[in-house]
Amino acid sequence: MNVDETKARAGPREFSPKDDLPEEYRKAATRMLEFHANSEIMGAFLERPFIRKAPSIERKMAFSAKVQDEIGHGQMLYRAAESLGIKTREEMLDDLANGDGKFLNCFHYPMESYVETPMIAFFVDGAAMRRQATLKKSSWEPYAHAMDKICFEEGMHVKHGESILRELMNGSRKEQRMVQEAFEEWWPRILQFFGPTDDQSTHHDFAAEVGLKTCTNDELRNAFLNTYIPKAKKYGLEMPDEPRIRDNGDGTYEVVEDDLDWDEFFTVSQNEYDGSIEQISGRRQAQEAVQWVRDMMDDQTTTNSGPQSQAAD
């Protein structure tokens, strides 16, 4: 099957590993899945410290469950990417540790204070839900199937983040002020979650033509604004002066995209931001610290698949 045939058959049609697909499709799907998997891992890495830092045992348990979910999502997506036959899971993990793997802009920045956690657990995860719900119709069947489980669990993550936001915004004036400051710092990053504007997106056209994606970056960003600006206001958050938000007067909103720092976005996305280096270095150290576990598991697998095991079978 050539690329044109793949485009023509995309849409409601799903493709599986047994299908004969062109290299261009396999590479595009691998790039998309690897990016998504890397982002799940780096998101978990960002929130992991709050298993200890959270103020109550209930919150600690919730962060522990959330981090475990995110790592599981990453593993599912690496396997779905691996089935395309371009890169192995180990190669993708090595690229992430070496700084060659790309991941979402939000996870390049440090998160140090508990009051920042709703920025990821509510707003970013809410943005992720907006995007991931559309991927249930992705033309790559393993990706679409993985989204069923991932979206179910991400829905719980959003409720977890909303619960923290509600608690903090009903707290002391100091807590409310700190959350507002965190919101002002994170809001531009949250709006850039969906990627560059449609006219600057380099991979969207092909991904949309072959059914890997079903919505544009701008469509997803606007849908997020329509849902989450009212929610932010409901909890007492004030919208920052910049980036400016246009109120269309009919319950819909748009961001003034020139107010977003796209130079910083592209610096971050290329792993050239100082925070990126720190995050990737921390991830690499964590991976090296448990390398002995993987080595032992590999040795055990080799032993179990040896001649004596085969003879016993």
Per-range mean pLDDT, top range of 2-11, 23-32, 278-287 = 23-32
pTM summary value: 0.86
* Count: domains in the chain: 1
Chain segment 196-239, per-residue pLDDT in tens? 887 777 777 888 899 998 899 999 999 999 999 999 999 999 99
State how far the alpha carbon of 295 is from the alpha carbons of 129, 158, 291, in Å. 35, 36, 6
Output the average pLDDT for the chain. 88
pLDDT confidence of 8, banded at 50, 70, 90?
Answer: very low
Least confident of 95-99, 113-117, 118-122: 95-99
Residue with tokens 């033309």: 139
Alpha helices in the chain (DSSP H): 3-9, 23-47, 50-53, 57-82, 89-98, 117-118, 125-134, 141-169, 173-191, 204-209, 217-234, 262-269, 274-289, 291-304, 307-312
Q: What percent of the chain has pLDDT over 90?
A: 67
pLDDT at 308 over 60: no
> What does the pLDDT read at residue 87?
96
Average pLDDT score over residue span 117-144: 95
**Parent domain of 277:** 3-312
Whether the predicted pLDDT of 247 surpasses 80: yes
| Triad 300, 302, 306: Cα angle to 5° | 120
| Structure-token pair, residue 298 | 């590999």
Spatial distance between the Cα atoms of 29 and 70, rounded to a whole number of angstroms: 20
Among candidate residues 228, 272, 245, the one with its CA nearest the CA of residue 105: 272
Q: Distance between CA atoms of 286 and 301, rounded to whole angstroms?
A: 23
CATH of the domain at 210: 1.20.1260.10
Res 307: pLDDT: 56
pLDDT at 12 over 50: no
**Mean pLDDT in residue range 75-80:** 96
Strand pairing report for 245-247 and 253-255:
antiparallel
CA distance 106 to 221: 15
Q: How high is the pLDDT of residue 306? A: 60
